Amino acid sequence: KYPLSNACGQLGQSYQDYHCSEEEAHMECEVDPQMSLTAVTHAKWYGAPAPLYCGPKTSDQPFTGFWDYNYECNKGWANPPETCSVYEGQKAGRFDHSSAYASTGGRTDVEGCCWWGRGVIQTTGVCNFGKLNYYLGKRAADEGRESRYPSVDFCKDPEVICASAEYKELKWVAGMFYWMESVQAYNEGGWDYTTELINFVNGGMSGNGFIDGVSGIVNRGCHNPPCGTGALDGGVERAENFKKVLDVLFDGSRPQISGPSSGPGSSSVDNTSSSGGSTADVWYPNYDAQFAAGKCVNDSPVPGGRPTYTTGSECCSFAYAGQASNACVNALSPSSSEEPGQSGGSKPSIPDSGPRPTRQPVPSTSEVGLIVNSDTFVNLERGLEGSKDDIDNKLFLYQTPAFQWIPSSVYKYADFIESLYIMATQGVAGKKFYIGEEGNDGHIYGLVNIAAFFAQSMKETIQYDACDENSWDLVNGKYPLSNACGQLGQSYQDYHCSEEEAHMECEVDPQMSLTAVTHAKWYGAPAPLYCGPKTSDQPFTGFWDYNYECNKGWANPPETCSVYEGQKAGRFDHSSAYASTGGRTDVEGCCWWGRGVIQTTGVCNFGKLNYYLGKRAADEGRESRYPSVDFCKDPEVICASAEYKELKWVAGMFYWMESVQAYNEGGWDYTTELINFVNGGMSGNGFIDGVSGIVNRGCHNPPCGTGALDGGVERAENFKKVLDVLFDGSRPQISGPSSGPGSSSVDNTSSSGGSTADVWYPNYDAQFAAGKCVNDSPVPGGRPTYTTGSECCSFAYAGQASNACVNALSPSSSEDPGQSGSLLQSQTIEGDIDGGRTYADIFVSSYSSESRLRTNLNVFSCDDSAEIPMDSKIIDVLFDYEYEVAFREDQASHLIPSFKHGIIHDLAKRLDCHALASRRFLRQAQSGLLGFLSADGSDVIDGEKSVCSKSTSDDGHVCLPVVGHIAIAVEPHAELEVILESKQLVLQKLQESFSSKTISDNVTYVGEHNFAESQVSPYTQDKIENSRNEEPKKESKPLVAVLCSLLGVAAVFIALVPIKRGKMHEQARTVPIAPEISQDSLDAPYLDTQNNDCQNGDLAITSSDDSVSEESVGSQNGFEQDIDVDTAQLVNDNGDDDILLKHTFSTDEGSSRADNNADQDCCPIWEHEDTMPTLRDRKPMEPP
């Protein structure tokens, strides 16, 4: 019989007890007795056992039985009939749970037994899976280390190794990780793997001694079994396999080599550096910092240590194998990829998005013919065709659940260009997609129109690889199924046309039933939206339970995740009605959710498509592009049609023509603004921000419609990316239409000489966040010019969250006549207020993100409301602090997020930024500060500074200068003085927090970080307050790179994480200050992290109602002990350096005796100072 508890370990093993060594114990996975998993593969012979599974014991099933492989399960004649349904392809067998049946190891359950072997060499046990997670998975990402698979938690879901459709390589990665850890590193009993391998090769690759030793290591843990769990299993087969592989790799003939000239282990790659001569035929990898951007080059000289290849394609195949971006292959010229004698041809690339449809010829004199043969259309199409590969591979990208950006499977250039042909030539209702103006450069206006369209599409749908609207509106932590009717309180079936166009809209059919074809893809993501009538059996709809574990093959009956393909968790919960934000508890008539590249929504828009392009047009005798497509009976055709893939683009272009190109309200006309933008040198965000407002909120100057602009920064960055692709990184300079709207007043002349010290212009950096204003001579043509640098920054880089432009100016470049350079800081803050981001940019992007469960962002409200107002302005505050450690810099950097977590929670306490229920009445002194936010991982080591303000300690510790970041929220129309006051308040509280040594003795506050003058501003800690000897602070250089990364924190990471509210006062007191800091990492007595008031050497007690009064509670060993009202700490009043022993004291009224049952909170400490562990006691590679 096959015990079901074999999942816990076979041949007497216990996989969950395969622990790491003491040095690596912190890496292993914790055993979760509630974890439930089922293997995805299994044996396939007649009656073979079901896949292994694990799960908790229950009252109904407190034990496991065995697999009865002899049982005939196909009994269609039985009453009731029986089928073989445990796994696909099953022919016989069943679970027998009639009694407990023990495995060889004695187990009769599968609780916590989720650690069976997986992958190509059966990675097994809590240690190995833990190491994968620690080095490659989610834990590495969560703790601030580089991670290959940041969304993959090998401890929560070890089955991902076998089950992942996205990361199919994991089954190999797991095996290679084991190979590197256990085989390549093996050196025991005089048998060293690398030495034995080299000896085997040098000896002509004969005999079985080497492979038998390897087999023993893999199978039993030693090179000379029997050892470990027994004798070698399958040694002959393993040796035969080895010979087969050698025959394949060496084509049946073993090569004869003399071996490495410098001993075992030396690499065989070309380590010589070419010092001259042509290297055109030698290619090598450039080892770009980003693997996805890596290329092969043949520049001379060849760097030492690089492997070399005959052709560029060979280099890419070996050096960048598995590169999803294909950047290496795509960068090659055709000749670089050719083998000798190979004919020339086009370079390899990602497969084309599909064949272009054959168009019917049109008369050159027809309306369509005049358009397609015009210089404007020809030049436009030529420009797009020249960029089509970059459009598919650089613009039409979506983000996977693992945070990788790969080409979209839904949106392709071929479909887009077909839709452009239709909408630019035929159009709808007399409207056509704008392709530009007449003249040689007229098509440039059309390309900018397309760039604006792409920018919005990339934000709305392409980044999610979604055609159908995703269910994303959380209501009290659940996804209502009635989100199909409308999210954020909307009702799509009530989006009617105007009175003049009401005859065009679709009728709502309560009997219509449809299901979306695309959906979100993260773990437990909601099912596709659907609509259908209410029934007597189901008169209401519930919600999607994204936490439900649906893979339960061991259950009776078995459960699988079968709602949609690739589902990992979640289920429909119809147990009770659950309302959407709009109050709906059904999906009857709710078939009008967003579809297509810009989410065409509502009965009016689908009706217009049908009226002008679909079946209704044909039925009523009008010309119809899609006479058989009824957009009203089947709106899902936009996403589902395999015949008309361009429909997802057509629907978006129809909206663009109707709502964007035709927009002319409040003095803002789309075409005029577009032409002005082009004629002005394509600088600034004014145009694209206006377009984003129209698309997202219905007006060019939100907040309006349903609220503030969502994702304005991302949309503007998308726009710039598209322009860079379409214009190859260089904006064309044109004079613009000679007549008509849009002529620009900017200076389009090019300076040909002379001094331009007083003329400033934008440098148009490839990264908007890094853009600056310069006064270099000559002035490029087409650039707007300004009198001062600050004026240039205000106009050309308005809204630049990084403030790189302003911070790069010298004081004189920003000054008007008579202005003092000391106002630069004020100008920077004024720039934030006038053109910066709002809290709505942060909140809405986070709210609509599919990554709400992944967060290290902390948000605190500091006023009397429960939330930060959406129109609040966000001001960035940078500060310097210094961190003294006994590690190398790269090791120490992993501790910074832990310290930051403590910093922001202690700051919240000092600012009294908590929930309203427990807030004290201290708000009058900080009226301008509405709240603050920051991420645990947003602080970085200041690479521009060579030393800290204090010298390196004699004890061998290293001091690292760190730049910290806090973003404060202020009232939308706050005066500059109020902003500065709020900022100074935060800096002051930060100084108090650092000075109190609450977080750590090893961290010292320096002051505000000032980029303009490369020095710290007020609140610099006084020299005498520092317990260590300090040198005068050396002047540091500007740190623009750090500024860009920190000040852009909201735009970079907030869209990926949900908002994390500050907890109530009672909860805040128990938030760990530095939860990832171990006892051994402190240079002082380890503090109780559950009490923010604890200080080194203190014992602390708190009452449940904070009503402890100041009174003596007795003495211990001659030391008088008092209770301090403010901090509720038990302090040593004796004045010496002795540390009190740990005691607890009752908080019951009238009691002064020790009471271990009292409501208390004490700091654990060591009795003697000389036994305290310090950083110097640690082993070099122990984890922090």
- pLDDT tens digits along 1034-1053: 334 344 444 444 444 444 33
Tokens read off for 1143: 């005691």
For residue 535, CA distances in Å to 112, 293, 297, 583 come to 42, 55, 66, 19
Indicate whether 711 pLDDT > 70. Answer: yes
Q: Name the phi and psi angles at 1169, rounded to 5.
A: -65, -30
Q: At what angle do helices 839-847 and 712-726 cross, to 10 degrees?
A: 80
Assess contact for 799 and 835: CB atoms under 8 A: yes
Report pLDDT digits (tens) over 554-566: 888 888 898 998 8
Region 649-672: what's the mean pLDDT? 92
Q: Indicate the average pLDDT of the chain.
A: 73
Indicate whether 46 pLDDT > 90. Answer: no
Query: Looking up tokens 């899902």, which residue turns up?
Result: 636
Indicate whether 602 pLDDT > 50. Answer: yes
Assess contact for 113 and 16: CB atoms under 8 A: yes
Per-residue pLDDT, 128: 92
pTM to 2 decimal places: 0.41
Nearest Cα neighbor of 483 from 572, 579, 548, 577 is 579
Distance CA 231, CA 635 (A): 66
Distance CA 671, CA 118 (A): 59
Reported confidence tier of residue 178, pLDDT bands at 50, 70, 90:
confident
Residue 608: which residues within 8 A CB-CB, separation 6 or more?
428, 429, 497, 501, 504, 505, 654, 658
**Cis upstream peptide for 407 (omega within 30°):** no
Assess contact for 67 and 97: CB atoms under 8 A: no
> Which of 576-580, 585-589, 827-831 has the lowest average pLDDT?
827-831
Tokens read off for 190: 């005089």
> Which of 353-362, 585-594, 621-630 has the lowest average pLDDT?
353-362
> Which of 240-244, 437-441, 743-747, 927-931 has the lowest average pLDDT?
743-747
Highest mean pLDDT among 263-277, 625-639, 826-840: 625-639
Per-residue pLDDT, 660: 94
Of residues 319 and 209, more confidence is placed in 209
Tokens read off for 408: 């979209």
Of residues 889 and 998, more confidence is placed in 998
Indicate whether 723 pLDDT > 80. Answer: yes
Report pLDDT digits (tens) over 902-959: 888 888 888 888 543 322 222 333 457 888 887 766 677 776 665 676 544 555 567 7
Report pLDDT digits (tens) over 1001-1021: 778 888 887 644 333 333 333
Buried b (16+ CB within 10 A) or exposed e, 362-390: eeeeeebeebbebebbebbbebbeebbbb
For residue 736, CA distances in Å to 209, 453, 795 come to 79, 21, 21
> Which of 776-790, 996-1010, 1048-1062 has the lowest average pLDDT?
1048-1062
Report pLDDT digits (tens) over 180-207: 988 998 998 889 999 899 989 988 888 8
Judged on CB neighbours under 10 Å (0-12, 13-18, 19+), 491 is middle
Around Cβ 864, how many Cβ atoms within 10 Å? 10
Query: Looking up tokens 């029997």, which residue turns up?
Result: 226
Indicate whether 1033 pLDDT > 80. Answer: no
β 958-970/94-96 pair status = unpaired
Per-residue pLDDT, 871: 67
Q: At what angle do helices 976-995 and 824-835 cross, to 10 degrees?
A: 110
Highest mean pLDDT among 3-7, 1056-1060, 1131-1135: 3-7
Distance CA 158, CA 165 (A): 14
Assess contact for 161 and 118: CB atoms under 8 A: yes
| Helix (H) or strand (E) run with residue 196 in it | helix 193-202
Dihedral, CA of residue 869, residue 871, residue 872 and residue 874, to nearest 10: 130
Per-residue pLDDT, 923: 31
Per-residue pLDDT, 360: 56
Per-residue pLDDT, 479: 95
Region 1080-1088: what's the mean pLDDT? 36
Distance CA 294, CA 288 (A): 5
Indicate whether 1183 pLDDT > 90. Answer: no
Kindly tell me the sign of the dihedral angle through the C-alpha atoms of 266, 269, 271, 272: positive
Which residue(s) pair with 519 in the sheet?
Answer: none
Around Cβ 397, how many Cβ atoms within 10 Å? 20
Of residues 396 and 1062, more confidence is placed in 396
Assess contact for 92 and 69: CB atoms under 8 A: yes
Region 707-713: what's the mean pLDDT? 81
Indicate whether 703 pLDDT > 60. Answer: yes
Distance CA 587, CA 484 (A): 7
Region 1130-1140: what's the mean pLDDT? 37
Indicate whether 1154 pLDDT > 80. Answer: no
Nearest Cα neighbor of 988 from 957, 1027, 1018, 947 is 1018
Q: Name the phi and psi angles at 744, rounded to 5.
A: -95, 155
> Which of 385-389, 837-841, 918-922 has the lowest average pLDDT?
918-922
Residue 627: which residues within 8 A CB-CB, separation 6 or more?
614, 615, 617, 618
DSSP tag of 1086: P
Region 565-579: what's the mean pLDDT? 92
Report pLDDT digits (tens) over 977-997: 778 888 888 888 888 888 887
Q: Where are the alpha helices (DSSP H) in 637-669?
A: 637-640, 647-655
Per-residue pLDDT, 957: 66
Indicate whether 1173 pLDDT > 50. Answer: no
Amino acid at 1180: P
> Which of 305-309, 533-537, 843-847 has the lowest average pLDDT?
843-847
DSSP tag of 760: B
Distance CA 1010, CA 1038 (A): 8
Per-residue pLDDT, 837: 53
Q: Name the phi and psi angles at 863, rounded to 5.
A: -115, -165
Highest mean pLDDT among 90-99, 341-350, 1172-1181: 90-99
Indicate whether 1159 pLDDT > 90. Answer: no
Highest mean pLDDT among 342-351, 558-567, 581-590, 856-865: 581-590
- Taking phi over 0 as left and psi of -120 to 50 as alpha, with beta for the rest, 468 belongs to beta
Per-residue pLDDT, 352: 40
Indicate whether 461 pLDDT > 60. Answer: yes
Indicate whether 769 pLDDT > 50. Answer: yes
Residue 1148, CB half-sphere, CA atoms under 13 Å: how many?
A: 9
Which residue(s) pair with 82 in the sheet?
Answer: 75
User: Of all residues in the chain, what percent carry a pLDDT higher than 70?
Assistant: 66
Highest mean pLDDT among 74-88, 281-295, 989-1003, 1023-1037: 74-88
Distance CA 35, CA 15 (A): 15
Around Cβ 579, how many Cβ atoms within 10 Å? 16
Distance CA 488, CA 490 (A): 6
Indicate whether 311 pLDDT > 70. Answer: yes
Of residues 1086 and 136, more confidence is placed in 136
Amino acid at 384: L
Of residues 1003 and 450, more confidence is placed in 450
Nearest Cα neighbor of 906 from 1005, 837, 981 is 1005
Highest mean pLDDT among 15-29, 868-882, 926-940: 15-29
Report pLDDT digits (tens) over 131-156: 999 999 999 999 999 999 999 999 99
Nearest Cα neighbor of 509 from 528, 532, 489 is 532
Per-residue pLDDT, 844: 38
DSSP tag of 1022: P
Per-residue pLDDT, 53: 96
- The gap from C-alpha 570 to its chain's centroid, in whole angstroms, comes to 22
> Which of 25-34, 835-844, 845-854 has the lowest average pLDDT?
845-854
Region 592-604: what's the mean pLDDT? 93
User: Which three-class secondary structure state does DSSP give residue 658?
Assistant: helix
Buried b (16+ CB within 10 A) or exposed e, 420-449: bbbbbbbbbeebbbbbbbebebbbbbbbbb
Distance CA 1181, CA 1179 (A): 6
DSSP tag of 757: T
Nearest Cα neighbor of 593 from 526, 500, 528 is 528
Region 152-172: what's the mean pLDDT? 94
Q: Where are the alpha helices (DSSP H) in 290-374?
A: 312-319, 327-330, 367-372
Distance CA 316, CA 310 (A): 11
Nearest Cα neighbor of 49 from 100, 86, 103 is 86
Reported confidence tier of residue 1096, pLDDT bands at 50, 70, 90:
very low
